[in-house]
C-alpha cells in the first residue's frame, strides 16, 4: 500500500508494511548549501505533483566515526543537499489525535543522522505513537561561531523542524498538542537547550533526555577561538562569507584537524576554558551562549525561568564513558600512576579517586577513571537539570544498568537506545548476540506510556526524594539517590 498525504510543501507518497506507514526523507526546510549553509533555515520549496517519500534522505556532511566507534554503531553518510529532512512512522495517516515523539539524534554535534537502523520508529508506530526523526546541521555548518552568521544554526534547525511538526503532523494522524521530544547524547543536550529556550513554548508538551546534561553552552569568545583555528586550517578569514564559499568536504577536513588538535592539546589558553571544560576533550563544536535561543547553560536558565519546565524523563547509562575509552584502547593506559594525571587533565582533584575506590574496592584504576568521568560528563549534569525541572514539573530519572556482552564496555554510552526503540535485533554489534528482549519491552513501553499520557510507572524524582529507576535484569528496581558519596566527592573536587 502506498498512501498519499498532503503537507505544507505538497503531496508525498509513503509506504505501508505490516500496519505501519513510513514517509522518509521529507524536507522540512530548504537545502542549506553555499552561503545558505550559514543562514537561518528557510521553508522547503513547494513541489508539484506527488513526491516519493519511500527512501531515507540525505544526511549532513560528516566524516566516519573512529574505527572503534564505527565497529560498534556504524557511520552515517547519505549524499545530497536536502539533508534538513524528517522521517515519519505512523500507525494510521487517516487517524486523528495520535501522540507524537520527535527524535533528535546524537553524535557530539558533528556526526549522526535520522537514518540509523536502531532509530527505526516502527515499534513506536506499532504501539500507537507517531515517531518523527529529524536531521539538523552539524559541525561547522551548525555550530561554528563565525562573524556574519547567526549562532546555533543547528538548534535553529531543530526549532524549525518542531514548527514543521506542529503545522503538519495532523496530516499523518498526529496531535500537534501532544508532542514529546527525545534525544540522546548531543540530542539530549539539545533537548535541554530546547526546554530552556523561550522560543519553544507550545512546540512540545513533554521531553526525554538520554545520556546528556544541562550545562553545555560555550562562551562565545571561546567558541570563536575554535572558529579561528578552523579558518586558519582553511586559509580563510573566520567569516560567513569566506566559509560559505567552501564545500562540505573542505569544511569536514578542517573540522577533523581542529578536533584532533584540541584532543591532543587541550590547553584552555588556546581553546577557551568553557570549550575544554564542557566539551571534555571530545566536542569542539557545540551550542554557544547567544542571548537568543541559548541564554546560558540550560540548567541555570531553567532555574531562573521555572515556568519553562515540562514533564521530563532524564537518565544515563551506568558506565557511559567506557564507550570512549575501552574500545579505543585508552582505558588500558590508565594505570595507578597515570590516574592522578588524567583526572587533573579534566580539572578534577585526584583525591576524588579515593572516594570512588572506597565504594568500588575491586575496581581497576581504569574503571575508577571511567566512573568519575561518567559522573562528571553525564550523571551530575543530568541530576542537576532534573532537580531544576522538578521544582515545577513532574520529573522521572532512570539509569540503564544492563552491561553489554562485549568485554569491558559495561552499560556504556548509546547502549540503551536499541532498548528504547525496541530495535535490539539491529544492534548486536553493540549489545552482543543475545540482548534481553524483556528489557527492551519494559523500556520501550515506558517511553510509549510517557509520550501518550505522561506516566512512567516509577516514583518521581523530586527536590526532596531523588528516586531513580534502574533498568536491568533479572528485574528493574527503583532506588533513592544512588551512589551519593561518589557524586558528592566529585562535586567537591571540581568546586
CATH number at residue 230: 3.40.50.1820
Closest residue by Cα to residue 132 from 174, 161, 89 = 89
Residues 290 and 339 in one domain: no
Number of structural domains (the chain) is 2
Contact (CB, 8 A) for 94 and 173: yes
Instruction: Please check whether residue 317 lies inside any domain of the structure.
Output: no
Residues 275 and 361 in one domain: no
Domain that holds residue 487: 334-494
List CB contacts of 235: < 8 A, sequence separation 6 or more: none
Residues 38 and 109 in one domain: yes
pLDDT tens-digit series, residues 365-396: 999 999 999 999 999 999 999 999 999 999 99
Contact (CB, 8 A) for 159 and 203: yes
Contact (CB, 8 A) for 44 and 85: no
Residue that is last in its domain, among 278, 310, 342:
310
How far apart CA 333 and CA 311 sit, in angstroms, is: 42
pLDDT at 453: 97
How far the first Cα of the chain sits from its last, in Å, is 60
Instruction: Please check whether residue 176 lies inside any domain of the structure.
Output: yes
Instruction: Please check whether residue 243 lies inside any domain of the structure.
Output: yes
pLDDT at 495: 64
Residues 269 and 146 in one domain: yes
Torsion of CA 116, 119, 121, 124, to 10 degrees: 170
From first to last of its 495 residues, the chain has per-residue pLDDT tens of 799 999 999 999 999 999 999 999 999 999 999 889 999 999 999 999 999 999 999 999 998 888 889 999 998 889 999 999 999 999 999 999 999 999 999 999 999 999 999 999 999 999 999 999 999 999 999 999 999 999 999 999 999 999 999 999 999 999 999 999 999 999 999 999 999 999 999 999 999 999 999 999 999 999 999 999 999 999 999 999 999 999 999 999 999 999 888 888 888 888 888 888 888 777 889 999 998 999 999 999 999 999 999 999 999 999 999 999 999 998 999 999 999 999 988 889 999 999 999 999 999 999 999 999 999 999 999 999 999 999 999 999 999 999 999 999 999 999 999 999 999 999 999 999 999 999 999 999 999 999 999 999 999 999 999 999 999 999 999 999 999 999 999 999 886
How far apart CA 7 and CA 172 sit, in angstroms, is: 9
pLDDT at 221: 94
CA distances from 78 to 27, 97, 116, 413 (A): 14, 33, 11, 24
Mind telling me the catalytic residues? Answer: 185, 320, 413
Grid cell locating 363: 575496581
pLDDT at 267: 80
How far apart CA 287 and CA 155 sit, in angstroms, is: 8
Instruction: Please check whether residue 318 lies inside any domain of the structure.
Output: no
Residue 467: strand pairing partners: 480
Residues 37 and 95 in one domain: yes
Residues 363 and 490 in one domain: yes
Q: Which residue reads 534525544 in cell numbers?
A: 183
Residue that is last in its domain, among 310, 342, 361:
310
Residues 279 and 343 in one domain: no
Instruction: Please check whether residue 223 lies inside any domain of the structure.
Output: yes
pLDDT at 278: 85
Closest residue by Cα to residue 83 from 9, 164, 24 = 24
pLDDT tens-digit series, residues 137-180: 999 999 999 999 999 999 999 999 999 999 999 999 999 999 99
Residues 434 and 387 in one domain: yes
How far apart CA 53 and CA 314 sit, in angstroms, is: 33
CA distances from 108 to 186, 283, 345 (A): 5, 6, 20
Rounded to the nearest integer, the mean pLDDT of the chain is 95
CB crowding 37-70: b at 16 or more within 10 Å, else e: bbbebeebeeeeeebebeebbbbbbbbebeeebe
Residues 175 and 247 in one domain: yes
Instruction: Please check whether residue 324 lies inside any domain of the structure.
Output: no
Residues 427 and 304 in one domain: no
pLDDT at 412: 98
Grid cell locating 117: 537502523
Quote the DSSP letter at residue 378.
I
Instruction: Please check whether residue 328 lies inside any domain of the structure.
Output: no
Residues 342 and 296 in one domain: no
The verdict on pTM exceeding 0.95 is: yes
Residue that is last in its domain, among 295, 310, 325:
310
How far apart CA 131 and CA 365 sit, in angstroms, is: 42
Instruction: Please check whether residue 479 lies inside any domain of the structure.
Output: yes
pLDDT tens-digit series, residues 428-483: 999 999 999 999 999 999 999 999 999 999 999 999 999 999 999 999 999 999 99
Residues 238 and 360 in one domain: no
Amino acid at each position: 500500500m502506498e498512501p498519499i498525504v498532503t503537507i505544507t510543501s505538497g503531496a508525498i507518497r509513503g509506504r505501508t508494511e505490516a500496519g505501519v506507514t513510513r514517509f522518509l526523507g521529507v524536507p522540512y526546510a530548504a537545502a542549506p548549501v553555499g552561503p545558505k549553509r550559514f543562514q537561518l533555515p528557510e521553508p522547503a520549496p513547494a513541489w508539484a505533483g506527488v513526491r516519493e517519500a519511500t527512501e531515507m534522505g540525505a544526511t549532513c556532511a560528516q566524516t566516519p566515526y573512529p574505527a572503534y566507534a564505527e565497529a560498534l554503531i556504524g557511520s552515517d553518510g547519505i549524499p545530497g543537499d536536502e539533508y534538513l529532512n524528517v522521517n515519519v512512522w505512523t500507525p494510521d495517516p487517516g487517524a486523528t489525535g495520535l501522540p507524537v515523539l520527535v527524535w533528535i539524534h546524537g553524535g557530539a554535534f558533528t556526526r549522526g543522522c535520522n537514518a540509523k537502523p536502531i532509530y527505526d520508529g516502527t515499534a513506536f508506530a506499532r504501539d500507537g505513537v507517531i515517531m518523527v526523526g529529524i536531521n539538523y546541521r552539524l559541525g561547522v555548518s551548525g555550530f561554528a561561531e563565525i562573524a556574519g552568521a547567526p549562532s546555533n544554526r543547528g538548534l535553529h534547525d531543530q526549532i524549525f523542524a518542531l514548527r514543521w511538526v506542529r503545522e503538519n503532523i495532523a496530516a499523518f494522524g498526529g496531535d500537534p498538542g501532544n508532542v514529546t521530544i527525545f534525544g540522546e547524547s548531543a540530542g539530549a543536550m539539545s533537548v535541554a537547550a530546547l526546554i530552556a529556550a523561550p522560543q519553544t513554548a507550545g512546540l512540545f508538551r513533554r521531553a526525554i533526555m538520554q545520556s546528556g546534561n544541562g550545562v553545555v553552552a560555550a562562551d562565545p569568545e571561546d567558541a570563536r577561538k575554535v572558529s579561528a583555528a578552523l579558518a586558519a586550517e582553511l586559509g580563510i578569514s573566520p567569516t560567513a562569507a569566506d566559509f560559505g564559499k567552501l564545500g562540505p568536504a573542505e569544511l569536514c577536513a578542517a573540522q577533523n584537524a581542529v578536533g584532533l588538535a584540541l584532543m591532543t592539546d587541550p590547553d584552555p589558553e588556546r581553546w577557551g576554558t568553557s570549550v575544554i571544560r564542557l566539551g571534555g576533550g571530545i566536542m569542539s563544536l557545540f551550542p554557544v551562549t547567544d542571548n537568543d535561543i541559548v541564554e546560558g547553560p540550560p540548567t541555570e536558565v531553567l532555574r531562573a525561568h521555572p515556568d519553562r519546565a515540562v514533564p521530563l524523563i532524564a537518565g544515563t547509562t551506568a558506565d557511559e564513558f567506557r564507550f570512549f575509552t575501552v574500545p579505543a584502547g585508552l582505558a588500558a593506559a590508565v594505570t595507578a600512576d597515570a590516574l592522578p594525571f588524567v583526572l587533573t587533565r579534566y580539572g578534577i582533584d585526584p583525591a576524588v579517586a579515593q572516594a570512588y575506590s572506597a565504594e568500588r574496592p575491586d575496581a581497576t584504576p581504569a574503571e575508577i577513571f571511567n566512573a568519575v568521568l561518567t559522573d562528571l560528563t553525564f550523571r551530575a549534569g543530568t541530576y542537576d537539570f532534573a532537580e531544576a525541572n522538578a521544582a515545577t514539573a513532574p520529573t522521572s530519572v532512570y539509569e540503564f544498568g544492563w552491561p553489554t556482552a562485549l568485554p569491558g564496555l559495561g552499560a556504556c554510552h548509546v547502549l540503551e537506545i536499541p532498548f528504547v526503540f525496541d530495535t535490539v535485533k539491529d544492534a548486536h554489534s553493540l549489545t552482543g548476540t543475545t540482548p534481553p528482549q524483556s528489557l527492551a519491552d519494559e523500556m520501550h513501553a515506558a517511553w510509549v506510556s510517557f509520550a501518550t499520557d505522561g506516566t512512567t510507572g516509577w516514583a518521581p524524582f523530586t527536590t526532596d526524594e531523588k528516586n531513580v529507576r534502574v533498568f536491568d535484569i533479572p528485574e528493574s528496581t527503583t532506588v533513592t539517590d544512588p551512589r551519593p558519596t561518589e557524586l558528592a566527592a566529585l562535586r567537591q573536587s571540581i568546586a
